Amino acid sequence: MIKMRQTEIKEAVIITARISSKRLPNKTIMEVKGLKSIEITIERAKKIGHQVILATSNDKLDDVLVDITKKCGIEIFRGSLSNKIKRCHDCFKKFKIDNALLIEGADICYDFNIGIRALTELRETDSEIIWCPKEIITGLFTLAMSKSAIEELYELVPSENFDTDVFTHLFDKMKAKVSFVKLNKNEKNKEIRLTIDYQEDLDFFRKVYQNFSITEDSSVIIKYLLENPSICKMNYFREKDYLENKENMMKDFNNNKKNSE
């Protein structure tokens, strides 16, 4: 494992993952192309060229991820189970990170080229958060964030009791400058779904990765899918369920926060 000297950490890639998924339990360690799904995300994240850190929880169920990070040669951080914001904040703090890409562990076709573009923009502009437009293909990219932004976000929800698995709706409450990553035509407005939340997503990826290396450019995979729309139909109908669940999680968060004030 590559060890980091904390005084040298400027930019990193933080993958958030845990075993206790509600919609598809254990999706993080389910097999795709002979690997655990999280191993594919890790290998794609390495293509970005910065130290990769898996940020998981202190829950005993997540002990299994320790051996995976050792096998993949990356760092691990363990923190809050429910409050993803706190977990990421504490990870930033421990490794003294200035800027980081945040990647969902379930995004096993994450576009490392978009990630590189976003991190470059974060570094070279006055933006503190680089987010994805709504029209992006789900699973290609999440966001890039500076230390100042994660600190401000954490101030909004410092309690361990908050469930912040979905938190981008909080950006409206922040002073941090938010910009959107620039997308190419093939990265948006397509009936393609590239993340794992349901069994159909898992079946879809098992089919797709029969034809590709796990580190193939997302653009190549998207081109193939556009030429084979029947494969996209395996899981794209789940996008509606995914978006509705995301909306419900935001509503639950707002209600819980209101009740706690």
Specify the pTM.
0.93
Question: pLDDT tens, 41-88?
Answer: 999 999 999 999 999 999 999 999 999 999 999 999 999 999 999 999
Residue 238 scores a pLDDT above 70: yes
pLDDT of 98 reads 97
Which helix (DSSP H) or strand (DSSP E) does residue 196 occupy?
none
Distance between CA atoms of residues 181 and 117, nearest Å:
7
Domain edges within the chain: 6-260
pLDDT of 223 reads 98
The model's confidence at residue 247, banded by pLDDT at 50, 70 and 90, is: confident
The closest alpha carbon to 162, from 248, 87, 50, belongs to: 87
The closest alpha carbon to 113, from 95, 140, 92, belongs to: 140
pLDDT of 153 reads 97
CATH 3.90.550.10 fits 6-260, yes or no: yes
Residue 9 scores a pLDDT above 50: yes
Among 13-27, 42-56, 161-175, name the most confident range.
Answer: 42-56
Distance between CA atoms of residues 5 and 9, nearest Å:
7
In this structure, what are the phi and psi dihedrals at residue 111, rounded to the nearest 5 degrees?
Answer: -90, 100
pLDDT of 162 reads 87
Q: What percent of the chain has pLDDT over 70?
A: 93
> In this structure, what token pair is assigned to residue 254?
């707002």
Residue 129 scores a pLDDT above 80: yes
Residue 149 scores a pLDDT above 90: yes
Provide mean pLDDT across the span 181-188.
Answer: 97
